[in-house]
């Protein structure tokens, strides 16, 4: 009986190694501002007693937001944020890009958007969306290939964003530290999501998936450029030219 009790205690101990024993109260601190942006979900919206937390830009958890200034390099291209990558994909890659033939109004250039963060990147993306809507363009692009991100290539789009998040965590120690500090909390977004969104938009799910990998091996490198091997063939992508 004593041996059985000891074994149970050992197993419990092993499952909690590396997991935080307490979480900062700040993560749930109520925001009492009289005016709150319509898009925002405040920290107090998460039920602490249900083991959930909002990835709020109002505290350190905000480093996990796609908006955060957390630079990373993927396939030899440097991005200032995941949002910079996200919005840049709406812009033409070169002069022969079919989108350039459809319109000359694209501004700023794709490379400039890759260097943006937060609302600056979002603003650029909104401008691109207006052109896309006017010209009936339903795809974005990545390394010369069209991505029907809300249609047949939703999985390809997801793979790009997950790869970017992996690179972001690897190259930004604070992001990795904060992610691991969330232990077994259910991560929730700090903004209201579009009803027609894709799974790539569920960045909180991506983080929980990668958190599990890191909990099993904290020194693991999450990003490997092999993910892009045969990418276009795998998803039967077509050229932007």
Query: Is-contact 68 117, C-beta < 8 A?
Result: yes
| In a domain? residue 226 | yes
The pLDDT value given to residue 80? 98
For the chain, the domain total comes to 1
* Residue ranges making up the domain that contains 212: 25-234
Assign residue 203 the CATH number of its domain: 1.10.357.40
The pLDDT value given to residue 72? 98
Determine the straight-line distance between the first and last CA of the chain, rounded to whole angstroms: 72
| In a domain? residue 134 | yes
pLDDT tens across the length of the chain (241 residues): 444 444 444 444 444 444 556 899 999 999 999 999 999 999 999 999 999 999 999 999 999 999 999 999 999 999 999 999 999 999 999 999 999 999 999 999 999 999 999 999 999 999 999 999 999 999 999 999 999 999 999 999 999 999 999 999 999 999 999 999 999 999 999 999 887 778 999 999 999 999 999 999 999 999 999 999 999 999 999 999 9
| In a domain? residue 164 | yes
| In a domain? residue 122 | yes
Q: Three-class SS of residue 64? A: helix
Q: List the Cα angle 230/232/238 in 5-degree steps.
A: 155
The pLDDT value given to residue 11? 42
| In a domain? residue 150 | yes
Which of 150, 155, 167 has its CA nearest to residue 210?
Answer: 167
| In a domain? residue 3 | no
Identify each DSSP E strand in the chain by its residue range. Answer: 52-54, 72-74, 77-79, 140-142, 145-147, 186-188
| In a domain? residue 77 | yes
| In a domain? residue 18 | no
């Amino acid at each position: 009986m004593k041996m059985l009790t000891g074994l149970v205690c050992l197993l419990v101990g092993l499952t909690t190694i590396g997991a935080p024993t307490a979480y900062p109260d700040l993560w749930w601190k109520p925001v009492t501002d009289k005016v709150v942006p319509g898009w925002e979900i405040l920290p107090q919206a998460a039920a602490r007693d249900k083991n959930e937390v909002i990835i709020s830009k109002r505290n350190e958890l905000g480093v996990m937001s796609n908006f955060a200034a957390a630079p990373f390099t993927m396939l030899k291209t440097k991005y200032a944020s995941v949002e910079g990558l996200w919005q840049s994909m709406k812009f033409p890659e070169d002069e022969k890009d079919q989108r350039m033939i459809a319109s000359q109004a694209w501004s700023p250039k794709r490379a400039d958007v890759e260097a943006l963060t937060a609302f600056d990147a979002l603003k650029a993306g909104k401008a691109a969306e207006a052109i896309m809507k006017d010209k009936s363009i339903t795809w974005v692009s990545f390394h010369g290939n069209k991505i029907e991100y809300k249609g047949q290539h939703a999985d390809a789009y997801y793979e790009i964003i997950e790869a970017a998040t992996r690179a972001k965590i690897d190259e930004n120690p604070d992001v990795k530290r904060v992610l691991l500090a969330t232990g077994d909390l259910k991560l929730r977004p700090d903004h209201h999501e579009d009803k027609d969104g894709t799974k790539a938009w569920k960045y909180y799910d991506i983080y929980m998936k990668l958190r599990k990998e890191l909990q099993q091996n904290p020194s693991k490198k999450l990003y490997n450029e092999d993910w892009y091997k045969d990418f276009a063939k795998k998803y039967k992508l077509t050229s932007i030219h």
